[in-house]
Structure 1
Amino acid sequence: MPLDDAQARLAQVQDRIARAARLAGRKPEAVTLIAISKTHDAAAIRPLIAAGQRVFGENRVQEAQGKWPALLAETPGIRLHLVGQLQSNKAEDAVALFDAIHSVDRPSLVTALAAAMDKVGKRPACFLQVNIGAEEQKGGGAIDALPDLLTQARITGLPVAGLMCVPPLNVDAAPYFALLAKIARDHGVDGLSMGMSGDYEAAAMIGATHVRVGTALFGAR
């Protein structure tokens, strides 16, 4: 992607986030834009870095390990977020590479991450993923299991930054975002990782602190 295309795409997404936030009486800077770079190689990512984007998201630990160490060496100050499902046996690798992990969804993963953080000496921010639409095929813990998971995460010392969800496809996402925001308030949690290329403006209006945007920045895969 040429630099001017990257700059235009980034500016458009940033402007839409800012407008949505202001409509809801929020400050635009309260919403962090995570550029989802999964399946894109370093050559595709560099123009967005050159355009000024500094927060990126990946779905798989192994894929991120293959391209990000070199990119991070080139440009200090980039923050990496893991937004895909995480196997417990990859917890140590994830802690070592990422600054935030958005898919903490079960007690065994909380235990694995706590041990990995103690071993590595690094404590990435953690979002607890909620299966907001109660979909069998989706990642995330059940809504009614969240209180126990949150208690375990806090007791074991995980830095709980917020909640994360992926609403069902092909329906209005706004009610699901509103539900996640209510659940977060009820449990004294501030961060909300919600909203993707098709619905990030709605998410920004409803309280998202992090939106995960891939296609609108990189184009269709």
Structure 2
Amino acid sequence: MSIKAAITALALLGFAPAAQSQDASFSFNLFSYEGAYLNRIFRFNADYTAKYNIPIDVPFALQIPVRSDVELIADGRPSGGIVKFTFATKDPSGRKFIENFHVIDASFPIPQGSSDPMPIRLQSAAKALTQSAYPSAVQGFTDAKIISTLEIAVNGMRAVELLGTYTDPSNGPMVLQLVAIPHPDRAESYFILHNINRTLVPMSGPEQLPETLGGRVLDSFTYE
């Protein structure tokens, strides 16, 4: 199993209480939002390649949540991978990083001669996340550790999730969610790099991941 993209990460997780923002004039809490979310659908396929000249080997689609107090920054040519969405505050004194969601191409080979190859592919994916993706993501940061690695479901598909922790010198304690999503029928696939700023997203535990902005995006991920 090989991961084909270089990874650049912002920061990552520990479910101890997060430090409060040092800017007393600014207040933001993702979970206190009471407004309606709108979803923007993004499709990455041959039409996307023709329009932006970015090759898409395996078509996929995402729904990106939009809310009035969050700025969405889309990067169709990130350093490594296919696309990165960054969510930031609309703070007049300067944008503050909330989360990002980075789709990175990967290969999870389908073993020949197996009547049920997915468990083997998931084991290979978990090994790749632990031994390759995670060390690259936390390189240069402090207090790095893996919290858990387990199989999950993403929009009805079997996947592997790694949760890890470290501290970003600029943003403080962060959450890292790495998710490998093997394509059901082909080796070419994707994995997800999801970073969360715990100062602005005060998570009490992993059960709140689906409530985050990136968690909402992950729940919408589908191969087309």
Which is helix-richer, 1 or 2? Answer: 1
- Name which structure has the greater RCO, CA cutoff 8 Å, separation 6+: 2
The answer to whether the superposition gives a TM-score over 0.5 is: no
TM-score (norm 2): 0.27
TM-score (norm 1): 0.28
Which is strand-richer, 1 or 2? Answer: 2
